[in-house]
Amino acid sequence: MKRNMKKNRLWFVGMSFIFCTVIYSCLQDEWETDNNKGDEKVIVGNNKELTVTAAQQWYEEHNKPVVTVRSVDNDENEILTKPKWEEAKESRQSNFEVVETTLMTNGSTMFMDSETKIRFNPKTDAKRVHNIARMVVIKNLKTGKVCNFIMIFVGTYDYLKTTRTLGKNSYLHRQPDFNGDVYFFKPGEGLVNGWRYRNGKITARISRGTEEGFRMSTTRGTYQRCHTESYWVYDTNCWGDSYFDDEFGWGVSSNCETISYPVYDEVCETVDDGVSEQPVEPWTPNEQPGGYEPPKSNDEPQKGTPEYYKKELEKILPNLSDELKKMDVDISNTQIRFTKEGCSANAQLLSYGNGGIIEVCSNFFNYLSQDQTAILWHEVYHLNNDDPNLVRKPYNFDYDLMSSTPPTILQDVRIYVEWLWKDVVNNDKENLINEDIKYYLTIYTLLPPEHYRHEIATYEAEINNCPNVSEHYRAEREYNYWKNKELLKLSEQNYKNN
């Protein structure tokens, strides 16, 4: 099912036409100077070296005209952004000078924390619940070094619903009531680091998701406990007319499809003096915490990056191929690669022609080898048995499966979800698991019945041919098999092609 949701999404991307939407709407924000931080003040609008003109010049020499941001397991399906220099602002503190601009993006994309994602109501919250996204160019006046990155403020739901000053947060300044996260992205790559704030004070460090979850480290005698937490990337793919709103910029009139998917970050609950594990290049006055911290260059691909997963896949693929050969499945003509399109399931069949293309997602690497074999077996079965010309146009259909789920399946969903959360250390873990179970037992869209027939046949064959899998994958598979049968019934009764 999830595999196919992703497909739908690609289909919509294909259908949508490109338009520029100014989604990050606090355009008229006025940044204030810091009141009483004890440090040197933030001075706005009076840079000596890195003026707006100098920043733009530097930026244009060092960046492509349109830069991209992508999430952790997402190689090519990127958000395109472009700085809006007319809205650039200067600020400086100590030996750092900063120029920040708002960003124009293609389509509207929102970053939300998981709570906001659950509570977000598109009808009533669309104007209050938004992000601040800026391109930051910064110069260290002492060393003369300049760099640029994308900064995104993501507020908590309650903060966004009540504050009127989200836009006053800036690279050098946090509002005293700021509740939320600030993320720093490297253009063309992904998340570099971030910080969590409660009432304007740092409460956690956010680093790129390692998906290994629990980690302990000792740094300068301090002790840190870390866990993986998800935030939701919320995509709206639209086709149709766009309109312009004086206050909020470009928007879309209708025909929007909303898709969300989680991105996992590692969050460390205790923050020490701001020194992180690996050597980083600090870009803040007096190296205080809260700023952009790119790692000092390192040749090995960083865990959690597409480069890392590509290397991992190279290592395990020969063995998986041998295991499949023992089951009379030949994948020598099939291209198997780490996802370029981005995916949140285990694997997806991307193309049927010329031996087919199967993509594995970052989740794939969390499974045991026998599970990975079964997952690939499943995709190859689709490749050989599905109708390649089936058009999978999704039909919006909200349905709650929870009440009709038999106890054994409910137990299986729980086994699967608990496995997903196994490494997460969080006080609210039980609630989060229950929310996730609800999510897995809710239907948002329907595909044509034929699609579910393919899925049911494939799961049946997989279960018969690949019986030796881990307990959690067995549970995941039983749940998917059952869910597709339920979806088939719903689709036969309700699916409409338009």
CB 81 within 8 A of CB 69: yes
Please identify, using beta-carbon distances, which residue of 78 and 478 lies nearer to Zn ion. Answer: 478
Least spacing, CB of residue 377 vs Zn ion, in Å: 11
Please identify, using beta-carbon distances, which residue of 170 and 348 lies nearer to Zn ion. Answer: 348
Least spacing, CB of residue 455 vs Zn ion, in Å: 5
What does the per-residue mask of binding to Zn ion show for 57-86, with x meaning CB under 5 A?
------------------------------
| Secondary structure element (H or E) that encloses residue 8, with its range | helix 2-15
239, 240, 241, 246 alpha-carbon torsion, rounded to 10°? -30
* Cα–Cα dist 37/34, whole Å: 7
Least spacing, CB of residue 478 vs Zn ion, in Å: 14
Least spacing, CB of residue 437 vs Zn ion, in Å: 21
Least spacing, CB of residue 366 vs Zn ion, in Å: 18
Q: What is the DSSP string of 400-454?
A: E-GGG--HHHHHHHHHHHHHHTTT---TTHHHHHHHHHHHHTEEEEE--HHHHHH
Please identify, using beta-carbon distances, which residue of 92 and 454 lies nearer to Zn ion. Answer: 454
Please identify, using beta-carbon distances, which residue of 364 and 421 lies nearer to Zn ion. Answer: 364
Closest CA to 6 of 392, 413, 436: 392
Q: Which residues of 162-184 are buried (b: 16+ CB within 10 A; e: fewer)?
A: ebeebbbbbbbbbbeebbbbbbb
Least spacing, CB of residue 106 vs Zn ion, in Å: 30
Least spacing, CB of residue 228 vs Zn ion, in Å: 26
Please identify, using beta-carbon distances, which residue of 362 and 458 lies nearer to Zn ion. Answer: 458
* Cα–Cα dist 133/181, whole Å: 12
Please identify, using beta-carbon distances, which residue of 44 and 345 lies nearer to Zn ion. Answer: 345
What does the per-residue mask of binding to Zn ion show for 424-463, with x meaning CB under 5 A?
----------------------------------x-----
DSSP 176: T
If phi > 0 it is left, if psi is from -120 to 50 it is alpha, else beta; for residue 286 that is: left
Please identify, using beta-carbon distances, which residue of 472 and 477 lies nearer to Zn ion. Answer: 477
Least spacing, CB of residue 171 vs Zn ion, in Å: 45
The residues near 424 (Cβ < 8 Å, ≥ 6 apart) are: 213, 214, 227, 228, 229, 432
Least spacing, CB of residue 367 vs Zn ion, in Å: 15
The SS3 assignment for 35 reads coil
Please identify, using beta-carbon distances, which residue of 227 and 378 lies nearer to Zn ion. Answer: 378
* Cα–Cα dist 89/101, whole Å: 6
The SS3 assignment for 154 reads strand
Please identify, using beta-carbon distances, which residue of 276 and 348 lies nearer to Zn ion. Answer: 348
Closest CA to 156 of 137, 181, 133, 124: 181
Residues touching Zn ion, count (CB under 5 A): 1
Q: Which residues of 38-58 are buried (b: 16+ CB within 10 A; e: fewer)?
A: eeeebebeebeebebebbbeb
Give residues in contact with Zn ion (CB under 5 A): 458
